[in-house]
Amino acid sequence: MEIWVLGFSIFLCHVCFSYAQMQGFVSLDCGGTNSHTDELGIQWVPDDQFQFGQTANISIPDETHQQYMTLRYFPNDNRKYCYTLNVTSRTRYLVRATFLYGNFDNNNVYPKFDVSMGPTPWSTIVISDASTVEMIEMIFLAIEPTISVCLSNATTGQPFISTLELRQFNGSMYIADFENQYYMSVSARINFGADSADPVRYPDDPYDRVWESDSVKKPNFLVDVASGTEKISTKMPINVDRDDRPPQKVMQTAVVGRNGTLSYRLNLDGFPGGGWAFTYFAEIEDIGPNDVRKFRLVLPDAPQASKAAVNILENAQGKDRLYEPGFMNLTLPFVLSFRFVKTSDSTLGPLVNAMEINKYLKRNGGTLDGSTITKLISQYSSADWAQEGGDPCLPVPWSWLECNSDPQPLVTAIHLSRKNLTGNIPSELTNLGGLIELWLDGNSLNGSVPDFSGCPNLKIIHLENNQLTGSVPSSLGDLQNLKELYLQNNRLSGKMPSNLGSDLVSNFSGNVNLRKASSGTSQTGIIVGSSIGAAVLLIATILSCLFLRKGKNSKKRYNDQARLRNVLPSQKLSSSLENTATEAAHCFTFSELEEATKDFEKKIGSGGYGVVYYGKLKDGREIAVKVLTSNSFQGKREFSNEVTLLSRIHHRNLVQFLGYCQEDGKSILVYEFMHNGTLKEHLYGPLTRERGINWIQRLEIAEDAARGIEYLHTGLDGASHVSSIVRGTVGYLDPEYYISQQLTDKSDVYSFGVILLELISGQEAISNENFGVNCRNIVQWAKMHIESGDIQGIIDPSLRDEYDIQSMWKIAEKALMCVQAHGHMRPSISEVLKEVQDAIMIDKEAKAAREGNSNDMSIHSMHSSLHLGSSDLGPTDSYLSIDESIARPSAR
Ligand SMILES: *[C@@H]1O[C@H](CO)[C@@H](O)[C@H](O)[C@H]1NC(C)=O
Ligand SMILES: *[C@@H]1O[C@H](CO)[C@@H](O)[C@H](O)[C@H]1NC(C)=O
Ligand SMILES: *[C@@H]1O[C@H](CO)[C@@H](O)[C@H](O)[C@H]1NC(C)=O
Ligand SMILES: *[C@@H]1O[C@H](CO)[C@@H](O)[C@H](O)[C@H]1NC(C)=O
Ligand SMILES: *[C@@H]1O[C@H](CO)[C@@H](O)[C@H](O)[C@H]1NC(C)=O
Ligand SMILES: *[C@@H]1O[C@H](CO)[C@@H](O)[C@H](O)[C@H]1NC(C)=O
Ligand SMILES: *[C@@H]1O[C@H](CO)[C@@H](O)[C@H](O)[C@H]1NC(C)=O
Ligand SMILES: *[C@@H]1O[C@H](CO)[C@@H](O)[C@H](O)[C@H]1NC(C)=O
Ligand SMILES: *[C@@H]1O[C@H](CO)[C@@H](O)[C@H](O)[C@H]1NC(C)=O
């Protein structure tokens, strides 16, 4: 596990000029084969000491950094893969990991997996673009002499990593009151007024922090910029003074609000939550003798934060010097809107050079048995199983351990059968108070059976097939929960303890010198606890083992069933879904449909595709019968393909497909008739006025639908992954289909993205009137608005203000990802489902907060309007809150 800096000291001699700065830098080029120095002067070393995973080379046009051209990837299994790095305890560090997918597996499946810092969940990496480097950073105080960064829990693709970097800070940089209990995960570190899109980092920043340019383009990053915002810069040196401050290059650029306001909105990764937020100001303009620059920070809903006015010259005590007010713990939302507004007695608009926002992440103390397990494995430091690294139980247990589900877990099972263990049974094992199963059979363990009274929960002990000597300790008889004890084929001797439970399943055979407890005669062989009872138990055990083994094989099926149960909203749907497993759509006869529709009497809709008639089947079910115009489908094969696909749509909020009929050259599709109207009608049909559905209901519909699609994508054994939803309906159809003529899972994701946009906007997918000139399509229209930060422009006015803007943003951004032009750029439906669920949670919390504060009209108002326009300073409807006691701005 000690995988880093082997060649490190060698470099130090080559690059002596940067010795001071490079001290405390560890830069691992994961998957790399040789050491190299990049254009910044950072020295990269390969992670070739690392014994897990495989390496891959990628190539990305325009990507020239050698460290990003290689990566290490790991199997998609239930293990974790950890890098362990040496650190100096009681010292603060920045750790940074980057991920550049580059389609290394030639699969175009964008990986999604978790990264943890030891036992503490750090981030979920969601790759959404094969050629963009994803980066995560964390600031922490080292408490132990090592840290572990672990990859686990891939929900799609395989976990991988491109680089892992460690930067040691100096002295008290980033010291925080809560640093023993919290990490700080970096959410934003912004260089305002930057002269290019490149970040400022080493060597300008001796600690190699990455100061991101404010001109970088990414979704909802620094949008809603107030008019009159101007970039300014200076060549004059800035007295940065202490080394924990932003580097001079960052402070030499700024933005100024010439019209009196600077405003921005950005997404804060990891939030909502409590965070550390600081702003950095330096007066870099020449100010006339009669000019004053004074301004306030305005955070909507956090009036406390706006109290103090900033006068840079006064606060910094001079020009070209730094002032850095901030909050040590401020509760911030996921979508942060903030403004700097000039005060009435100021002649100049506000100015800002840089800002940093970090999210507090509660440290998990890890497995309670952690130190015991550490001692245990230190005796087997060369064994494979001792190299897994990270916390024994969190976020997932080592391959040979099981743990309980407490926040700080205990080890419940040890599986070290046939691992070539020698010497005594490690005494650490007898300190594991939560241990239920111990498997040490088939090793070469010698010495005696220890006293396990420190493990009162032990149920199953396997010590057979070793070389254990001595007698069987009577302390085993004191284990109240012991059900199975296997000691056969050792060298045990003496008398069996007499206090072993009568229902204990045990095997002592093959211990030549072991005598039965009761009779004094030396007798070898099996001693079964008592009589027939025990035999029955044994058989039961064997049966249950067999059953369990079988259960394991059919685990997938079991999961499918579980999934089925989770997904299905109703019994009816359940049976129809099971039917779809056979992909059989019902074939109606033409006369049957004639009868049901009373000879196509009642027309309930029509369109380019054909005409829809009302009907009623013999069993009373009401149906909608869609008679397709002859040119809708080119041929029989296409039609039957369509039927197969449609037969897989089963959702209560999408119309349920019942069957088809193809006779006399007629192609007919039969759907369930929905009295309450379909989703469409609720959203933009005549029903809207009476039965408008609110945002949470819309999200819940989306959740249900996503679950249904997820089921189709993952739950059908052996079913080919062809698209299901709304094939052929213009406006929902995957644009790639026009080229490939193939519908895939990702086509469904596209269609679902369109549905999300409909839910947000209450607009139909295609409209000749509603999207302005030259735009008929909801996707183009929504994209234009969302990407320019104007989400208000697409939100359904009938939602009034009864929604939370963050949950809206989450959905809007996910929807845009779903409707990306290329299938491989779209997320999986599972990922979308997760986002919808998060949005529901956020909206519900916000709703509760709104209602909880409904008396306090001065701060929150249920119906306060959402103003994101730059000229407005009114309260907004987000749930920003603040801890007053520590929300005072404080200069570091
Ligand atoms: C990390 O520390 C351990 C223990 O002090 C030491 O044995 C190991 O060589 C160190 N690893 C590196 C790469 O310096
Ligand atoms: C990656 O490229 C290096 C250098 O060209 C080569 O030595 C290595 O074998 C390649 N690795 C893989 C997995 O192809
Ligand atoms: C694994 O990832 C899924 C999806 O992101 C998440 O729901 C689940 O909680 C994760 N499991 C663990 C053990 O973190
Ligand atoms: C760290 O602090 C020491 C003492 O305060 C100083 O001499 C040194 O230059 C600092 N290192 C960096 C990289 O700023
Ligand atoms: C902002 O100021 C510029 C000139 O400084 C002026 O042209 C523009 O109209 C102003 N905009 C607003 C919204 O006040
Ligand atoms: C145990 O040792 C044998 C012989 O040296 C070896 O073949 C086997 O792979 C080892 N098993 C484990 C689990 O290390
Ligand atoms: C137990 O095994 C170890 C290592 O194989 C050996 O050094 C030791 O002498 C053995 N002890 C006994 C009592 O046999
Ligand atoms: C006990 O162990 C021996 C040796 O492995 C085996 O032959 C025998 O079948 C076992 N007895 C029972 C009851 O499982
Ligand atoms: C920050 O404040 C919130 C709300 O008062 C509190 O719950 C949280 O524990 C604080 N965070 C830290 C790191 O102290």
Whether 332 and 271 have beta carbons less than 8 Å apart is answered as yes
**Domain CATH code at residue 404:** 3.80.10.10
> Which range among 159-168, 242-251, 331-340 has the greatest average pLDDT?
159-168
Least confident span in 118-127, 354-363, 445-454, 704-713: 704-713
Residues 77 and 147 in one domain: yes
Residues 641, 633: Cα–Cα separation, whole Å: 10
Which ligand 9 atom lies nearest to the CA of residue 883?
5
Residues 666 and 702 in one domain: no
The beta strands (E) that lie in 787-842 are given as: none
Task: Give the residue, 258 or 533, on which the prediction is more confident.
Answer: 258
pLDDT digits (tens, 9 = 90+) for 227-240: 999 999 999 999 88
> Which range among 186-195, 210-219, 656-665, 674-683 has the greatest average pLDDT?
186-195
Band (pLDDT 50/70/90 cuts) for residue 674 is low
> Which phi and psi angles does 251 have, rounded to 5°?
-75, -15
Q: Distance between terminal CA atoms of the chain?
A: 38
State which of 337, 362, 387 marks the end of a domain.
362
Whether 450 shows a pLDDT value over 90: the answer reads yes
Other beta carbons within 10 angstroms of residue 639's beta carbon come to 18
Residues 223 and 261 in one domain: yes
Band (pLDDT 50/70/90 cuts) for residue 20 is very low
Amino acid letter, 226: A
Q: Is the CB of 510 under 6 A from ligand 8?
A: yes
Residues 357 and 246 in one domain: yes
User: H/E element holding 671?
Assistant: strand 666-672
34 in any annotated domain? yes
What percent of the chain shows pLDDT beyond 90?
A: 49
Q: HSE on the CB side for 224, CA within 13 Å? A: 25
Whether 256 shows a pLDDT value over 60: the answer reads yes
Mean pLDDT of 482-501: 92
The beta strands (E) that lie in 539-633 are given as: 586-587, 603-607, 610-616, 622-628
Band (pLDDT 50/70/90 cuts) for residue 243 is low
Helix (H, G, I), strand (E, B) or coil at 837: helix
Tell me the pTM. Answer: 0.68
What does the block give as tokens for 24? 């405390």
Residues 257, 765: Cα–Cα separation, whole Å: 39
What does the block give as tokens for 719? 């079913």
- When the pLDDT of each residue in the chain is averaged and rounded to a whole number, the result is 79
Least confident span in 16-20, 201-205, 493-497, 704-708: 16-20
Whether 690 shows a pLDDT value over 60: the answer reads no
Amino acid letter, 114: D
Question: Quick check: bond before 145 cis, omega within 30?
Answer: no
Q: To test the ligand 1 pocket, which listed residue (2, 12, 144, 168) has its Cβ within 8 A of the most ligand atoms?
A: 2
Q: To test the ligand 2 pocket, which listed residue (36, 44, 54, 57) has its Cβ within 8 A of the most ligand atoms?
A: 57
609 in any annotated domain? yes
Residues 689, 714: Cα–Cα separation, whole Å: 38
How close is the Cα of 835 to the center of ligand 3, in Å? 13
Residues 315 and 444 in one domain: no
Residues 220, 517: Cα–Cα separation, whole Å: 76
Q: To test the ligand 9 pocket, which listed residue (329, 361, 363) has its Cβ within 8 A of the most ligand atoms?
A: 329
pLDDT digits (tens, 9 = 90+) for 48-62: 988 899 999 999 988
Which ligand 5 atom lies nearest to the CA of residue 228?
1
Which ligand 6 atom lies nearest to the CA of residue 384?
14
Confidence at residue 483, expressed as pLDDT on a 0 to 100 scale: 95
Q: Long-range pairs for 661-664 at CB < 8 Å and ≥24 separation? A: 661/587, 661/588, 661/589, 661/590, 661/592, 661/593, 662/587, 662/636, 663/589, 663/590, 664/590
Q: Which ligand is nearest to the CA of 184?
A: 9
Residues 229 and 342 in one domain: yes
Residues 787, 294: Cα–Cα separation, whole Å: 32
Residues 644 and 694 in one domain: no
What percent of the chain shows pLDDT beyond 70?
A: 76
Band (pLDDT 50/70/90 cuts) for residue 46 is very high
Q: Is the CB of 526 under 6 A from ligand 8?
A: yes
Mean pLDDT of 801-827: 90
Band (pLDDT 50/70/90 cuts) for residue 305 is confident
What does the block give as tokens for 108? 């175009």
Whether 419 and 376 have beta carbons less than 8 Å apart is answered as no
Whether 850 and 285 have beta carbons less than 8 Å apart is answered as no
Confidence at residue 619, expressed as pLDDT on a 0 to 100 scale: 86
The beta strands (E) that lie in 108-181 are given as: 112-117, 120-126, 134-141, 146-156, 160-161, 163-168
How close is the Cα of 873 to the center of ligand 1, in Å? 55
Whether 510 shows a pLDDT value over 50: the answer reads yes
Confidence at residue 99, expressed as pLDDT on a 0 to 100 scale: 98
User: How many domains does the chain contain in total?
Assistant: 6
User: H/E element holding 567?
Assistant: helix 555-567
Whether 451 shows a pLDDT value over 90: the answer reads yes
Other beta carbons within 10 angstroms of residue 858's beta carbon come to 9
Confidence at residue 44, expressed as pLDDT on a 0 to 100 scale: 96
Nearest CA to ligand 4 atom 2: 170
What does the block give as tokens for 308? 């103090």
Q: Is the CB of 444 under 6 A from ligand 6?
A: no
Sheet holding 70-73, edge to edge: 54-57, 70-73, 160-161
Task: Give the residue, 177 or 375, on which the prediction is more confident.
Answer: 375
Residues 646, 663: Cα–Cα separation, whole Å: 18
Band (pLDDT 50/70/90 cuts) for residue 17 is very low
The DSSP result for 7-29, as a single string, is SHHHHHHHTGGGHHHHTTEEEEE
How close is the Cα of 259 to the center of ligand 5, in Å? 6
505 in any annotated domain? yes
Confidence at residue 866, expressed as pLDDT on a 0 to 100 scale: 23
Nearest CA to ligand 5 atom 7: 228
506 in any annotated domain? yes
Whether 26 and 5 have beta carbons less than 8 Å apart is answered as yes
**Domain CATH code at residue 124:** 2.60.120.430
Band (pLDDT 50/70/90 cuts) for residue 203 is very high
How far lies 661's CA from each of 116, 332, 605, 613, 643, in Å? 55, 57, 19, 14, 10
Nearest CA to ligand 5 atom 6: 228
Residue 706's nearest CA partner among 678, 666, 733, 745 is 745
Nearest CA to ligand 2 atom 1: 57
Residues 134 and 218 in one domain: no
> Which phi and psi angles does 407 have, rounded to 5°?
-55, -40
Residues 866, 793: Cα–Cα separation, whole Å: 12
Whether 864 shows a pLDDT value over 60: the answer reads no
Which ligand 4 atom lies nearest to the CA of residue 171?
2
Residues 235 and 155 in one domain: no
What does the block give as tokens for 306? 């706006």
Report, in angstroms and rounded to the nearest whole number, the Rg of the chain calculated over CA atoms. Answer: 33
Nearest CA to ligand 9 atom 4: 883
Least confident span in 252-256, 318-322, 532-536, 760-764: 532-536
How close is the Cα of 420 to the center of ligand 6, in Å? 6
Residues 614, 672: Cα–Cα separation, whole Å: 10
Residue 294's nearest CA partner among 357, 346, 218, 235 is 346
* Residues listed for the chain: 892
How close is the Cα of 461 to the center of ligand 6, in Å? 23
Whether 891 shows a pLDDT value over 90: the answer reads no
Question: CA 649, 705, 846: angle at the middle one, nearest 5?
Answer: 175
Confidence at residue 673, expressed as pLDDT on a 0 to 100 scale: 73
Q: Which ligand is nearest to the CA of 445?
A: 7
How close is the Cα of 442 to the center of ligand 8, in Å? 14
Nearest CA to ligand 1 atom 5: 86
Chain centroid, CA 515 distance in Å? 58
How far lies 302's CA from each of 149, 259, 280, 337, 566, in Å? 36, 23, 20, 11, 40
Query: Which residues span the domain enclosing 826?
Result: 687-862
Residues 100 and 155 in one domain: yes
Whether 565 shows a pLDDT value over 60: the answer reads no
> Which range among 12-16, 470-474, 497-501, 653-657 has the greatest average pLDDT?
470-474
pLDDT digits (tens, 9 = 90+) for 769-811: 778 777 888 999 998 888 877 888 899 988 888 888 888 988 9
Residues 20, 7: Cα–Cα separation, whole Å: 18
211 in any annotated domain? yes
Confidence at residue 575, expressed as pLDDT on a 0 to 100 scale: 30
Residues 494 and 584 in one domain: no
Whether 180 and 143 have beta carbons less than 8 Å apart is answered as yes
Band (pLDDT 50/70/90 cuts) for residue 655 is low
Residues 116, 135: Cα–Cα separation, whole Å: 14
pLDDT digits (tens, 9 = 90+) for 95-141: 999 999 999 999 878 899 999 999 999 999 999 889 999 999 999 99
Task: Give the residue, 635 or 259, on which the prediction is more confident.
Answer: 259
The DSSP result for 295-359, as a single string, is EEEE-TT-GGGGSSEE-HHHHHTSTTB-B--EEEEEEE-SEEEEEEEE-TT-SB--EE-EEEEEE
Residues 67 and 132 in one domain: yes
400 in any annotated domain? yes
Q: To test the ligand 4 pocket, which listed residue (172, 243, 244, 245) has its Cβ within 8 A of the most ligand atoms?
A: 243
Residue 363's nearest CA partner among 191, 489, 181 is 181
**Does the annotation list 626 as a binding residue?**
yes
Q: Which ligand is nearest to the CA of 416?
A: 6
678 in any annotated domain? no
- Which residues approach ligand 5 with their CB closer than 6 A? 227-228, 258-259
Confidence at residue 262, expressed as pLDDT on a 0 to 100 scale: 97
Give, as one character, the DSSP assignment of residue 763. Answer: -
Amino acid letter, 700: E
880 in any annotated domain? no
Residues 47, 3: Cα–Cα separation, whole Å: 6
Whether 99 and 87 have beta carbons less than 8 Å apart is answered as no
pLDDT digits (tens, 9 = 90+) for 694-751: 899 889 878 877 876 776 666 574 344 444 333 445 567 777 776 776 667 888 888 8
**Domain CATH code at residue 243:** 2.60.120
**Domain CATH code at residue 722:** 1.10.510.10
